[in-house]
């Protein structure tokens, strides 16, 4: 399994996102999986990558939260959580998404 966190440096949420992803991987029994942090540095790079906004989580190259429309720009991504919209998913949401990816 390959876990990647895509981000841009101006995003205030990417460090918290990395911590939550690590916790979620640990909770699903994948403490062995390293997280690769990949900075997206320009709008042109964001467009070329189909970047869905920062932070974006991919597992084996697939968006963990299935972005409907890529932002294609250096923008913050918004996630729906039980508490409302937030800049990073809750650990429990990541655990559910990881479990679905691992078992499908």
**Average pLDDT rounded to a whole number, residues 19-26:** 98
Count of the separate structural domains present in the chain: 1
Instruction: Assess whether pLDDT exceeds 70 at residue 33.
Output: yes
- Distance, CA of 51 to CA of 7 (rounded, Å): 9
pTM for this structure? 0.91
pLDDT for 37-72, tens place per residue? 999 999 999 999 889 999 999 999 999 998 766 667
Counting residues of the chain whose pLDDT is more than 70, the rounded percentage is 93
Instruction: Assess whether pLDDT exceeds 90 at residue 103.
Output: no
- CATH number of domain containing 55: 3.40.30
Range of the domain at 25: 3-103
Q: Is 89 exposed, middle or buried (0-12, 13-18, 19+ CB in 10 A)?
A: buried
Indicate the pLDDT class of residue 93, thresholds 50, 70 and 90: very high
């Amino acid at each position: 399994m390959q876990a990647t966190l895509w981000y841009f440096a101006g995003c205030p949420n990417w460090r918290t996102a990395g911590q939550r992803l690590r916790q979620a991987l640990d909770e699903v029994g994948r403490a062995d999986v390293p997280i690769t942090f990949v900075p997206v540095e320009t709008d042109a790079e964001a467009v070329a990558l189909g970047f869905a906004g920062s932070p974006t989580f991919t597992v084996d190259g697939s968006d963990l939260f299935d972005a409907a429309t890529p932002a294609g720009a250096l923008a913050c991504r918004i996630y729906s959580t039980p508490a409302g919209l937030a800049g990073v998913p809750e650990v429990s949401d990541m655990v559910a998404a990881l479990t679905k990816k691992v078992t499908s």
